[in-house]
Chains A and B, each alone.
Chain A
Amino acid sequence: MQTPRSDGRASDEHLRALSVALDTNSRASGSSYVELGNTKVSCAVYGPRRPRVDDLTVNTGVIDVDVFRVPFARKRAIHVERGRENEREKDLNRSAADVELSARIADVLRACALTETFPRAQVDVYVTIMDSDGGEVVASVLAASAALARAGVEMADLASACELVRIGERLVLDPTEEECERGNGKVFLAQMSSEEGMVQGETFGRWTADESRRALEQCAAGCNRFDTIVREALAKS
């Protein structure tokens, strides 16, 4: 007998409802709006355009990602930590965590997009996190890859992502913020679902090698289910 989860889901393997809307922004080359439970992310892709000189690469295109977080999507105000009060991080909406999140999403997109198809050009991806209740990285990856596809950027495959949290002995898929806080281990996986190629994986906490492998497998199954939903939305549009 499995304990139902705090948000009413019956099983640890259940994902939250994912809804994907495309072309939500009339000015962008491609755009999307993704809701994963209470987590809401909007993404707009602009370009291709001529890159700045210092970003110019010869054989491949550039994908630049910026993640913004609306102030009310934050749970608490950020405290300025010791030694972290430098210029770039003074702006409360651009914490180091968000800059890192941008870099992570950029890594995923660069692995999936065929950047050699638009050499000497740049595509800008703007991700806006509008509400956050766990899984904001998952929602951001799904939104960005859908928007990139809508913008007509050639990709090896769509990127899909999923998270998992270990609470005691339970492995809970697609956790809410509250479940994340109770957990003592967390796995994030971004993959290309048609090939099951791991694009980015992060495991935190203490695991045996077997447990860690099993958690990744469960995440991969979650990725596949999200991937199907995004694919359906793209096919319909």
Chain B
Amino acid sequence: MRYTAATGTRTWDTVTEVCHVTKYFDQIQPVSLLRRERRRIYALNDVSFSLQRGEFAAYAGPNGAGKSTTFKLLCGMLRPQQGSVRLFGMDPGARRIDVMRRTGVLFGGRNELWWDHPVRASFEWKKAVWDIDEATYARVCGEMRELLDLGELWNSFARELSLGQRMRANLALTLLHDPELVLLDEPTLGLDVLAKRQMIDFLKRVNREKQVTLLVTSHDMDDLTEMANRILLINEGRLAFDGDYDQLIRMAGDNRIVKLRVRGGAPVLPGAQYAGSEEGRHIYRYDAGVTGVQEIFSAIAAVPGVEDVELGHEAIERVIARLYSSWKEKA
């Protein structure tokens, strides 16, 4: 039995292992008419993480944080300057073909369907190129057609599909060879509420029922926290957070929101901080770890003319945005 160096777990269980990876790009930038300056940009700086079989991990970060670079490293398209990347215990750069037989990849905003052919033709194409046996093809095709509602699209030309339909077909195509690891870059980008719901439910089901390991990026943190049971936050090339949703909330501070509708101007609420007003409601923010809910209720009760009260968690988007800003300030 082989064990991985970084985590000490069996390689069979470790689907992906990124070990102290550094990836930088050297750029030559014009600083004046005649002068050029060489600048080194770190896309990833000493990043380590591993994914176990059956994990569903979200990979998030602001634009330019290094998400796409990580995906390209995992697919063997890029090589790191330092560190190592292993998929199923193999170097994806050296053993691209073996790795790709077991991995499904869908890059954001890209299309794997054959444009001028019916959707069916793209599936038949993949069957031949990936050498998928008849039984697997029939089984997975049947599942995908049912779960992703592809029946009506099956004979339509890819160019005639809407964005949501195209994403569904692309996702089904990505999963056609029954991959053990699926890398999805922005799978919910541009989808409407219904299509997004369908996509998220499908991914959760695939992860649960087939034990497929999923690594998903998205700009929509609400989607990611709903889908994934592990969140990897990357910022300026460094892994800034690796844990579950509750740990993330604890790290960012358990911020809660109070929305008050009162007659007159915004009152002072002891223990909470006024954050602004919108649509006749005054919004306050407080840290539940510092101020207890009892104190907040007492403070609200002391305010005269309260018409309505709403309590809730701070949106995850805001939590992440605040984290990004604080990291930027520290840097």
Q: Do A and B bind each other?
A: no
Residues of B within 8 A of A (CB): none
